[in-house]
Amino acid sequence: MSHHYHPDPGKEVRLKDYITRFEGDFDKDEAAAEEAELEERLANLQERLYAESKQSLLVVLQAMDAGGKDGTIKHVFDAVNPQGVRITSFKVPTAEELVHDFLWRIHQHTPPKGYIGIFNRSHYEDVLVVRVNDLVSKSVWKARYDHINNFERLLVDSGTRILKFFLHISKDEQKERFQDRLDRPDKRWKFSMGDLPVREKWDDYMEAYEDVLTRCNTEYAPWYIIPADRKWYRNYIVTKVIVETLEAMNPQFPPAEEGLDKVVIPD
Question: Is 16 or 91 the residue whose CB approaches ligand AMP more closely?
Answer: 91
Among Mg ion, ligand AMP, none, the one that 35 touches (CB under a kind-dependent 5 to 8 A) is: none
Element (H, E) at 248: helix 231-249
Beta carbon nearer to ligand AMP, 131 or 234: 131
The DSSP bridge partners found for residue 61 are 120, 165
Residue 65: CB minimum distance to Mg ion, A: 5
Report how many residues bind Mg ion under the rule CB under 5 A.
1
Taking CB under 5 A as the binding criterion, the range among 65-73, 105-113, 136-144, 231-239 that sits at the site for Mg ion is 65-73
Give the torsion sign (CA, 16, 20, 21, 23). Answer: positive
Helix axes 231-249, 69-76, angle to 10 degrees: 60
In the list ligand AMP, Mg ion, none, the entry touching 229 (Cβ below 5 to 8 angstroms by class) is: none
| Contact positions vs ligand AMP (CB under 6 A) | 90-93, 121, 125-126, 129-130
**Whose Cβ is closer to ligand AMP: residue 39's or residue 126's?**
126
CB 20 within 8 A of CB 228: yes
Write down the least CB distance from residue 136 to Mg ion, Å. 22
Task: Measure the CA–CA gap between 50 and 136, rounded to whole angstroms.
Answer: 39
Q: C-alpha angle with apex 258: 257 to 262, nearest 5 degrees? A: 110
Q: Which residues bind Mg ion (CB under 5 A)?
A: 65
